[in-house]
Structure 1
Amino acid sequence: MSRTENPASRWSDQRPPETADEWIKRAREVAGILGEDAVARDRAGLPPHQEVALLKEAGLVTLMGPVEHGGAGQNWITAYRVVREVASGDGSIGQLLGHHYAWAWAMRLVGTPEQIAETEEHYTTNNFFFGGVVNPRDADLLVTDDGDALVFRGKKFFSTGSKVSDLTLLEGAFADTGRHVFAVVPSAHEGIVFGDDWDNLGQRLTESGSVEINDVRVPWSAAAGYVDKQFEQTAYGTLNAPTFQLVFTNFYLGIAQSAMRAGLAYTRGHTRAWPYGGEGKRSGAEEFYVLEGYGDLQSKLWAAETLADAAGVNLAQLLHSERNAVTAEQRGRAAVLIAAAKQRAIEVGLEVANRIYELTGARATANSVGLDIHWRNLRTHSLHDPIAYKRTEVGRYALLGELPAPTAYT
């Protein structure tokens, strides 16, 4: 992706996509642009302002925004596929887009009808991108009731995307009651200070470093779902964690697809046959172990994608339901299926990213080839929450019929 040229201008004379397939094709075009220099941009580690601008120009940011405000009005089934496609070009940008979709939807989960309408019109009309300061493993931001306003303060050691976003979702807890509350604020708020300390093995362009929140005031009217300072929880309102977990699953699969394509391309063009095999093979593509290896990996990847798609259809039915129609049992079953899909995506993705070296050969380890980006990205984010707990959730359901209780990670 050139930093001196705007490749997104290529869509300026085209009609916007209308169908789900057309939007997935648009996402694939974006992935192609991102994939051209993903390794170089990963190594440079610059904030992905131009990458977010590309998502905006392509129309992907308002994919699920209301049609009446200029959005595409697509559903979560399409959104998950779009995340996967974009991640196949650049895992970091796929993650940012997936987080954007989940945070843009957060108001629908718990907000009042007025808050939902206002938020969706605001971000869709302005083509705004969401970031978030929401990390359950850190201490909660402290929220103080100051009469007509709430005041957020504290620090999160991890966040995602806020530095390159227009709007940031803040979540905190009241000191006296422990009740949680979130609100959407401008990312340029003077009270939001970014640590610029994200320096990890992979997903380097997600701007996931620390953030300090210094006395950020929001009116009570912006406290999502609160009416007369009271909040009523529903099963629908607890769908945030499953929504994010399936975002993770899909950008993992996108990274795995990218690793697979990179391995196949290298093998076709560069991998040599083993000269001591005794069968006179002319290229690595004729080697039995190479053919068997790619066949094994591709079969596993297709299976993981099919499971993720099934989980996406199931969850989308709930996300697009009436709020009071979703039951705790439906929510729990969706979480179990997502847990199964996520563990498969991680295991298959890491296997693909690792085994492609065996199928490409020693020269493929050169830094100029850049195959390491796929394993680094998957390994980094797949540690987000222990995969063993996802297996256990599925095991409890299979063995005991128990559904997972809603948590920040389930």
Structure 2
Amino acid sequence: MAPSAAEVVASASSLFSKVTPNPTSDPAIYDTHHQKFTNDGLPTTTEAWLERARRVSEILAVDAAARDIENKSPRAEVALLKSSGLLKVLGPKAYGGGGQGWDVGYKAIREVAKGDGSIGMLLGYHLLWSTTANVVGTNEQKDRFQRTIMENNYFIGALTWSSGAVNPRDNDLKITDHGDHLIFDGQKHFNTGGVVSDLTVLEGVLEGTEDHIFAFVTTQQEGITFAHNWNNVGLRLTESGSVKISQVKVPWVNALGWDIVSRTPNPATLDIPFATLLLPTIQLVFSNFYLGIALGSLQFATKYTATSTRAWPFGGDNKTSATEEFYVLERYGNFFAHLRAAEVLADRAGEEVAGIYARYGESREISERERGEVAEWVASAKVVTTDESLRVTAGVFEVTWK
């Protein structure tokens, strides 16, 4: 017999009452790096930003496998992203940000993911959700939240889309109007980075309507309860477990893109193609950390093959080392060529996304056709990077025997 609705609710509630938080990693383990990044200051050129991302990737790669096994809540890793300045790469220079475009942001995500896929994913989610007000907020909200995030070096988590609020496993959060403020209630199976975030993006549907509302809230508050139940195979340090939202209060002035007098979506910010750019933007985030994971896997496998893989002893044309084996050379060459092509496609898609924001970030007057065309570039990149990343991360085991 199927469980009743009351039994389902009771079971979900018990999920949050029985868990204990994971141990957290200690930010002090990166003190030497924090100090160096602080002394060096923020990068000032595109290449310097990418070099900073490569440096963070190298730091993380040293013990990525061990940290994944330990599965500690990644406070140290987020602290490293903060001190490196990478959380600010897209932010306006006026408020202490890097002033770079999404094309650079995507490459930074990819670089970090080469060393640690989980932290590359966290960086990608932060960059997307930290710019939410730029896409769906009013000009005043865009300015206010960018200033707040940059000046405080905040890390942003989210209970939205694939990280929660519009995930198909869940209903939307319920939003009720209480005069000068809103109340968010509900539960999500997934959130990404929320446990270690400073601010969280909530999203839900206003009661009695079909209208969605995005809002930033402080993460550490009584109404946000994390289940600490993320124990996935892969990407374990993304802290993507369940979360309960109970009576979380949001002032109407923080309802992104809404007219607080009429209590209606502002057509100048929400009823236009520009407001839908969050979706293709985050899809390309996925493409780039997938690609970074594959590139990192190939780099690791190459070193392993050169130092540990034995030449095949039963071929009749025996080689002295695995790096002389025709099959091994063919596999690596094939993986390298396909990943290089995937990188070029991802970079082109990133340039398209960056160009859209550069041209229409102020006016928001992008046409439906232009929005559709950039989505096509993103979708193409997503298909290719997904296929190739899966092929390479599985295929390297064919050339890394003992």
Name the TM-score, length of structure 2 as normaliser: 0.88
Using the TM superposition, give the Cα deviation of residue 280 of structure 1 relative to its aligned residue in structure 2, in angstroms.
3.9
Deviations 1:354-390 (A, max 9, x none): 11111111x3xxxxxxxxxxxxxxxxxxxxxxxxxxx
Q: Distance in 1 between matches of 2:40 and 2:183?
A: 45
Q: Distance in 2 between matches of 1:32 and 1:99?
A: 21
CA contact (8 A) 2:138 2:256 kept: yes
2:9 is aligned to: none
Correspondence for 1:129 among 152, 155, 158: 155
CA contact (8 A) 2:312 2:318 kept: no
5+ long unaligned stretches in structure 1: 364-410
Using the TM superposition, give the Cα deviation of residue 321 of structure 1 relative to its aligned residue in structure 2, in angstroms.
2.5
2:238 is aligned to: 206
Q: Distance in 2 between matches of 1:187 and 1:151?
A: 15
Deviations 1:61-81 (A, max 9, x none): 111112121111111111000
Cα pair distance change 1:168/1:15, threshold 3 Å? closer
1:240 is aligned to: 278
2:393 is aligned to: 353
2:255 is aligned to: 223
1:252 is aligned to: 290
Equivalent position amino acid for 1:103 in 2 = W
Equivalent position amino acid for 1:170 in 2 = L
1:11 is aligned to: 37
Q: Distance in 1 between matches of 2:68 and 2:358?
A: 36
Q: Distance in 2 between matches of 1:48 and 1:81?
A: 22
CA contact (8 A) 1:256 1:349 kept: yes
Q: Distance in 2 between matches of 1:64 and 1:344?
A: 26
Q: Distance in 2 between matches of 1:11 and 1:113?
A: 32
Equivalent position amino acid for 2:55 in 1 = E
Q: Distance in 1 between matches of 2:57 and 2:41?
A: 19
Are residues 1:342 and 2:382 paired?
A: yes
Q: Name the SS of the counterpart of 2:91 in structure 1.
A: coil
Deviations 1:137-170 (A, max 9, x none): 2200000011110000000111100110100000
5+ long unaligned stretches in structure 2: 1-24
CA contact (8 A) 1:263 1:356 kept: yes
Q: Let me know the Cα RMSD of the aligned residues.
A: 1.3
Correspondence for 2:201 among 169, 173, 180: 169
Are residues 1:108 and 2:148 paired?
A: no
Are residues 1:314 and 2:352 paired?
A: yes
Using the TM superposition, give the Cα deviation of residue 15 of structure 1 relative to its aligned residue in structure 2, in angstroms.
4.2
Using the TM superposition, give the Cα deviation of residue 199 of structure 1 relative to its aligned residue in structure 2, in angstroms.
1.5
Q: Which runs of 4+ in 1 moved over 6 A?
A: none
Deviations 1:281-324 (A, max 9, x none): 11000000000110001000001111111111011111222243
Correspondence for 1:147 among 179, 183, 189: 179
Equivalent position amino acid for 1:186 in 2 = T
Q: Distance in 1 between matches of 2:57 and 2:124?
A: 14
Give matches, 1:382-393, under 5 Å.
none
Correspondence for 1:117 among 143, 159, 163: 143
Using the TM superposition, give the Cα deviation of residue 328 of structure 1 relative to its aligned residue in structure 2, in angstroms.
0.9
Q: Name the SS of the counterpart of 1:321 in structure 2.
A: helix
Q: Name the SS of the counterpart of 2:205 in structure 1.
A: strand
2:310 is aligned to: 272
Equivalent position amino acid for 2:62 in 1 = E
2:336 is aligned to: 298
Using the TM superposition, give the Cα deviation of residue 172 of structure 1 relative to its aligned residue in structure 2, in angstroms.
0.4
Q: Distance in 1 between matches of 2:137 and 2:37?
A: 34
Equivalent position amino acid for 1:335 in 2 = A
Equivalent position amino acid for 2:144 in 1 = E
Using the TM superposition, give the Cα deviation of residue 174 of structure 1 relative to its aligned residue in structure 2, in angstroms.
1.2
Using the TM superposition, give the Cα deviation of residue 175 of structure 1 relative to its aligned residue in structure 2, in angstroms.
2.0
Q: Distance in 2 between matches of 1:194 and 1:15?
A: 34
CA contact (8 A) 2:68 2:237 kept: yes
Using the TM superposition, give the Cα deviation of residue 54 of structure 1 relative to its aligned residue in structure 2, in angstroms.
0.1
Q: Distance in 1 between matches of 2:137 and 2:64?
A: 37
Deviations 1:71-114 (A, max 9, x none): 11111111000000001110000001000000011111111111
Q: Distance in 2 between matches of 1:4 and 1:89?
A: 17
CA contact (8 A) 2:342 2:388 kept: yes
Q: Name the SS of the counterpart of 1:308 in structure 2.
A: helix
1:390 is aligned to: none
Q: Distance in 2 between matches of 1:5 and 1:107?
A: 32
Greater shift in the superposed pair: 31-40 or 278-287: 278-287
Q: Name the SS of the counterpart of 1:196 in structure 2.
A: coil
Cα pair distance change 1:264/1:172, threshold 3 Å? same
Q: Name the SS of the counterpart of 1:47 in structure 2.
A: coil
Give matches, 1:88-103, under 5 Å.
88-103=114-129
Give percent identity, aligned residues only: 44
Aligned positions, number: 362
Q: Distance in 1 between matches of 2:314 and 2:287?
A: 41
CA contact (8 A) 1:47 1:164 kept: yes
2:80 is aligned to: 54
CA contact (8 A) 2:30 2:76 kept: no
Q: Distance in 2 between matches of 1:281 and 1:333?
A: 51
Name the TM-score, length of structure 1 as normaliser: 0.86
Equivalent position amino acid for 2:247 in 1 = D
Q: Distance in 1 between matches of 2:125 and 2:41?
A: 27
Deviations 1:28-70 (A, max 9, x none): 0000000000000000001000000000000101111121211
Q: Distance in 1 between matches of 2:65 and 2:36?
A: 23
